[in-house]
A and B are shown apart, each in its own frame.
Chain A
Amino acid sequence: GAGVSQTPSNKVTEKGKYVELRCDPISGHTALYWYRQSLGQGPEFLIYFQGTGAADDSGLPNDRFFAVRPEGSVSTLKIQRTERGDSAVYLCASSPGQVNTEAFFGQGTRLTVV
């Protein structure tokens, strides 16, 4: 597609369940980022991929969060044993991978843990 696509757009899950959030970046973009946006706040960095490898995962809040990008394109953010505090909009962005290039954001996945 023309832009970054995230699925699902909305996800409601019960506390303690496992969820997967998917990101399809713009074709050819080697860099991919996950951010988390809580209500009324700016996005917070979670993890950055360059190709298939996680170049920087310093923003992942704890070991319940994990992300993969096995073929250097689609990425999946995985959250185990979800907690109500995980409720937020999870944003994905991609860029061509060189410095000084624009990052394009998807519309986000709104995760609600009940």
Chain B
Amino acid sequence: GENVEQHPSTLSVQEGDSAVIKCTYSDSASNYFPWYKQELGKGPQLIIDIRSNVGEKKDQRIAVTLNKTAKHFSLHITETQPEDSAVYFCAAGDQYNFNKFYFGSGTKLNVKP
């Protein structure tokens, strides 16, 4: 089955700086890659996603890049704010069912004011 690895496990940045989280996946058939933000005591919330026919996608301060050849994808958050502090998960979508996800182990982002 699919194996998703995520780094780093924790990331601390100063407010206004950029944050980058990286993931790799093993199954070349995966073609949907969402990123979720999870705040304490809440369920994961989709913040951005990318499909395999696109190399980059941007939504305001958040961008995701995908390199299918190398089987890795990254989340970029610019101009970080304290409210960006949370745990972020990458995931790879099952080729037959886009909502059956294989999640990474998570990155705890701390944005210091």
The chain A residues found within 8 Å of chain B, CB to CB, are 4, 31, 33, 40-45, 48, 55-56, 91, 93, 95, 99-108
Q: Identify the B interface with A (CB < 8 A).
A: 4, 6, 32, 36, 41-46, 49, 51, 89, 91, 97-106
Q: By the criterion CB–CB under 8 Å, are B99 and A103 in contact?
A: yes
Shortest CB distance B30–A (Å) = 13
Q: A42-B104, A102-B46 are in contact. List 16 more A-B contacts (CB 8 A).
A: A31-B99, A33-B100, A40-B106, A42-B106, A43-B44, A43-B101, A43-B103, A45-B100, A55-B97, A93-B99, A95-B99, A99-B97, A101-B99, A105-B44, A107-B42, A107-B43
Across the two chains, which residue of chain B brings its CB closest to A43? B103
Instruction: Give the complex CA separation of A44 and B104 in angstroms.
Output: 10
Q: How far is the CA of A65 from the CA of B91 in the complex (A)?
A: 24
Contact A42/B99 with A100-B32, A106-B43, A107-B41 known, Cβ cut-off 8 Å = no
